[in-house]
Amino acid sequence: MVSAYDELPRTAANFVALSPLRYLERAAYIYPQQAAIIHGERQITWQHTYQRCRQFAHQLAKLGIQKNDTVSVLLPNIPAMIEAHFAVPMAGAVLNTLNTRLDAKTIAFMLEHAESKVLLVDPEFREVAAEALKLVPQEIVVIDVFDSEFEGEQIAIGQYEYESWLAQGNPEFEWLLPQDEWDAISLNYTSGTTGNPKGVVYHHRGAYLNAASNILACGMKPRAVYLWTLPLFHCNGWCFAWSIAASGG
């Protein structure tokens, strides 16, 4: 028997796909001048982070990145890594955070298996990245992310330098939520200790709920300050990049 409740329509007024991207939008609106990222002497507010992520997403779109394309990053816990967690899905793409402790052959397998189209690289990992890129069959756009806290040589291996590339993006870029909260937001891999690495896909709904669950499980207070010790390449930092945005911390 069909109930009248079953016939109630799903509309824009009563339903929206769950996505952690909303957390950033909200943080920028409610806590615009609150420090979102502190990296050495550098501080970036939520408003500025949101603008930078929109620029990042716009630049990806200009490269032809679209829904379900994979963007990989080989980065430590630096601002660009946080920005990638929002900007890549803002462009409709899937974020693949690579384990910085793996060898070139394993990284190459992941890049090929994920069909990565863009790779962001920190100069600390340029040698393993360059070696891995020689082993993959597809062309990958490489973007160098120079870290202000890295004391080694800032040597480029890619076609673009992150900050100058980012500056060309539109800070008012009209990004879109996923049409379906089941859409993929990230792709992570095991380390391949028992064979080739295995891929695990997160969807927007799962990332949204896990990020909210972190706040409850850890008893996080509003605007909590979080010290990043867990690598963000590890299960997307257990989704804490999105949790901190949700709490406005």
Q: By the 8 A CB rule, do 50 and 24 touch? A: yes
pLDDT of residue 192: 79
Angle between helices 46-62 and 79-90 (to 10 degrees): 60
Q: Residue range 218-228: average pLDDT?
A: 86
Tens-digit pLDDT profile for residues 131-152: 999 999 999 999 999 998 888 8
Decide which of 220 and 50 is more confident.
50
With a cut of 90, say whether residue 238 has pLDDT above it: yes
**3-state DSSP helix/strand/coil % of the chain, to nearest 5:** 40, 15, 45
Tens-digit pLDDT profile for residues 15-40: 889 999 999 999 999 999 999 999 99
Tell me the percentage of the chain whose pLDDT exceeds 70: 100
Pick the CATH number of 18-27+41-247 from 3.40.50.2000, 2.150.10.10, 3.40.50.12780, 3.40.109.10: 3.40.50.12780
**In angstroms, rounded to a whole number, what is the distance separating the alpha carbons of residues 174 and 171?**
9
- Domains of the chain, by residue range, sit at 18-27+41-247
Pairing of strands 141-144, 116-121: parallel
